[in-house]
Each structure stands twice: as C-alpha cells, then as structure tokens.
Structure 1
C-alpha cells in the first residue's frame, strides 16, 4: 500500500470516527446526560489522555511549553473561546436537532472562514467561492425551512446552536494557528482540552450532575471520548502527515456523511428529501472550497 493511499484511508477512518462521536453524544443526551456534564467529561478525560501521550513522547518540550507565555496565554484563549465554546455549541445543536443535522450545519465553517479572509484582505471572492457561498446559504435555508419561507423545519434553538457551532468552529480553527505552528498540534489541543475541561467543570459544578451507568451508556461514553475524540484526532494527525492538510481536510468531509448514516441506523432519526438536498448543498460548498485549495497547492508544488 502506497503512503498516499494509506494516509487517505487513515483520514477517512478518522472522519468516520468523528461521526461516531456525534451519535454517541446524541444517545447519551437522549438518556438523561446533561450537555454540561458531557462537555466537561469529554474535554477533561480527552485532555488527560492526550497530555499523557505528549508527556510520554515529548517530556522536555512539555515542560518548556508550560513555562512559556507564548504557549500558555494563547492556549488558554484557544481553550475558552475556541474549544469549549465549540464543544458546548455542537452538543447543544445535537441536543436540539440530531447528530447528522448538527454536524452538517457545523460544516458551514469553511464558508465563514472564506468570508472572513475576503473581508480581512479586502478582496472579492472568486467565481468558485461565490458558488460555494450560495450553495452553503441555500443548503442551510432548505434544511431549516424545507423550502417553505416563513416556517422552520427545525427548532429555532436547533438552528441557533447549529450555526453557533459553525462560528465557534471557525474560531477553533483560526485562533491556535500560531501556537500550533510553534509547539505542535497534539500538545496544543491536549493542553487546551485539559484547561477547558477543568474550567468548564468548575463553572458548571459538573460533579453535582448525575448520570446513569450501564453497558450501553459506558459504550456511548467510549464512543464520544475514546473513539470520537482521542482516537479520531490522533490518527487524523497521522494521516495528514502522509497526505497533507488540504487533502486531509477534504477527505475528512466524510464526517457529516457518516454522522447522518449513523444517526439513521442507530438513533432511528428520519430525514426528508429536502434535508438530504440541503445537506448535499452544504457538502458541495465545502468540497468546492477544498478542491480549489487542493488545485492551488498542487500548482504551487509543481512550480
């Protein structure tokens, strides 16, 4: 198996694992687990595991990082305003809709980042980018109204948190760029998760929240924390090192597809034709932007 093929398969597995995460979260919330408790546990346990991996692999770098202002301060900002807010908004979106719908709405993020870049650079979007923006807006409109102006097919809170998860995911991507470049993504994400988990737990007094425990509940916790966070993230990084970030992000778009399929199969959710049409529009918008970046990267490498 070639390095390119192996890397592509690894990224596809990571995207599918992220799909498992959303469905696991939906299952837990449908069985009485609060969003606050789930957010706390996911961040705290995942952060502990990831930092343990970093401490084992890069003990000297970790000690140096925690003593450096260039790492600590940006990581705290990223943890609170990117990671915590995104995790909370995403789980709230699942709580008010379902895992498939919430994940697709979150994939509006590349379009939001595109709009921010155009505003920042004071440049007009290209024809392809305009097409992607139109598709994303049309997809969101179709999903939220089923094409009927003046009525919502999903709850207002579901739409609010779904779009909120897209906005906070953009912050999640943009805020830590510099610190990740300097200190590495695993160390940055792991530290941010641990900081966010501790902070959010203290603010919400998560230890006072109750949860039932049986085999299915424990399996769902493993799905959202073990499979959908720790495993998915670490193997995604492995795949990206083989095939590059642009192609990796393109292949990771399998996440909403996997999430929708798993939501139907596991949670028994019902989607209408208009839902799938809206999802298709949003995914096409993401693919247009990703393919444009892929072509641009290929041209640069050739030159």
Structure 2
C-alpha cells in the first residue's frame, strides 16, 4: 500500500510537470521565441538526455535497436508523425489560443484512439465510451463557440491546430506500441526525440533563428525541457512501475487541470466560465474511458 501511495504521488507530480511544460512554451512564445526553435531545442535536448539514461540503464536494448534497420524505420515514422508534428501542432495551438485550451484540446486524443480501436476491431463502442464521445464533442463545441454555434470564440487556426495536436498525439500513442514492447519506452522515446529534433533543426534550419538566453528564457527552457519533458517523463515511467500503466494514465489526466492552473497563475491567462465547463466535459470524457480500463483491468486480475 505504501508503494501504491508513493506511485500515485509520483505519477501526479509527472502530470503536473507536463502541465507546466505548456505554460512554459506559452511564456517563451510570448517573449518572441518561435515555435520551430522551441520544438527543436525541446526534442534535441530531451532526446540527448534520455539517450544518456538509456546508455546507463538500457544499453543492450538501445544497441539492438540501432542494429535493426526495420526498427529504425519505425522510429523514423514515429519521430516524424508522432513526436515532431505533435510538438509543432501543440505549440502552434498554444500560440493561437493559450496553454490551458491547447492542452485540453490535445486531450481529445483518447477519443480518437477509441475510434481507431473500434474501427480496427470492427466493434461498437460500449455505453460508457458513447457517453465519453458525446462529452468530448460537447466540451469541444463549448470551448470553440461559447455556446454560440454560428461563430467561433477562438481563432479558427487555434481550433485547427488544437484538433491536429490531438490527432498527432493519438499517432504518438499508436505508432510505437510494438517497438516499445520490444525495446522499452525509454529507448524508443529517447531515440525518437533525438531523431525528431534533428528533423526540425535541419529541415527548418532553426539554427538561423535568434536565440536570446536571458534569465527569463532560460527559466522557460528549464520549464519545458527540464521539468516538463525530461523530469516528467522519467518520473512518470517510475510511477508506471509502481501503480501500473492503466492507473498511471488515469492519474496523468491531471495534466490539463494543472495547465489551466499554471496558465492563470503564471501568465495571467483569463478563462470564461463556459471555457472551464467545456474543459471539465473533455477531462470527464477522458476519465470515463480511463476508469473503464481500470475496472476491466481489476476484473481480469480478479
């Protein structure tokens, strides 16, 4: 029980740290740093650190993956469609809306994964899953329109980037499943981040963009890279080993709540009551799906 409680606390801390990363990104964008440069730095630095941890803790799996051309091709597709596009889309959504709204819209991802699973296995969603889908759609409509269905309350680009970030986040979850099962998540994510960082850096030539490393920007980079990526991911992995993947994913749903809190507290963002209601509906939809998985997992154990 003590280990379960500690694992619960660790996983919640990871979710809160992820929530801080989006606000750190908003802060850096507000200080003139481009989305492309932030993405490049986040993926490169995080990838290098995580691969360093792999050398210490999972060297055999890392070298085995590097010798497998087919696996490396899988990492490439994951890095491009699951990591790079997701990071770019998420930060663009923040730039056009705010960290809280962008994070909540990205959390539509489980609904997309659910739809993919139902289509793949040609099965109808359960009652709980139907309710989750309805809640998610209702929440998105409230955030996007504030109840006035004839006009948008946020910019069309903000909504589009937010929905695209949810789609790419779904790809982030789906694409590396087999690779993670074979080589471990730390190796796959670390190598994918480094590869994605190189894609952004070389493809968009981000080294040509100005980088002002004053105290504020350094603090923002520590938030998005150090706390919101490296620390959050490694701590989350430790939490998974203590409470299990299903419970961990449920606890990590605190991320959008933390993001909204930090957005209000740190960057003075303002949310209307209807925004918060829409966010509650989306988070509720995610929690319903997660709770269903917890119940199924407990039944199978029992």
Q: TM-score, normalised by structure 2?
A: 0.98
Separation in 1, partners of 2:77, 2:134: 32
**In 2, distance between residues paired with 1:95 and 1:210?**
18
Residue 110 of structure 1 aligns with which residue? 110
- Alignment of 1:266 with 2:266, yes or no, is yes
Q: Which residue of 2 aligns with 1:170?
A: 170
Counterpart for residue 294 of structure 1: 294
**SS of structure 2 residue aligned to 1:166:** helix
* Aligned equivalent of 2:218: 218
SS in 1 for 2:179: helix
> Are 1:71 and 1:183, in contact at CA under 8 Å, matched by a contact in 2?
no
The equivalent of 1:46 in structure 2 is: 46
Question: Does 2:81 match 1:81?
Answer: yes
Tell which deviates more after alignment, 64-73 or 217-226.
64-73
Helix, strand or coil at the partner of 2:271: coil
In 2, are the aligned partners of 1:106 and 1:166 still within 8 Å (CA)?
yes
Q: Is the 8 A contact 2:16 2:258 kept in 1?
A: yes
Off by >6 Å, runs of 4+ in structure 1: none
Distance 1:58 1:259 in 2: 32
* Contact 2:26/2:94, CA 8 A, preserved across alignment: yes
CA shift for structure 1 position 70: 4.1
The CA distance in 1 between the partners of 2:287 and 2:10, in whole Å, is 19
Size of the aligned set, in residue pairs, is 302
**Gap runs ≥5 in structure 1:** none
Deviation at 1:161, TM superposition (A): 0.3
Q: Which residue does 2:37 correspond to in 1?
A: 37
1:258 deviates by 0.4
TM-fit CA distance, 1:229: 0.3
In 2: Cα distance, 1:64 partner to 1:284 partner: 41
Aligned mates of 2:235, 2:18 — CA distance in 1 = 11
- CA distance in 2 between partners of 1:266 and 1:115 (Å): 36
The question of whether the paired residues in 1 share the 8 Å contact of 2:61 and 2:184 is answered with: no
**Residue equivalent to 2:209:** 209
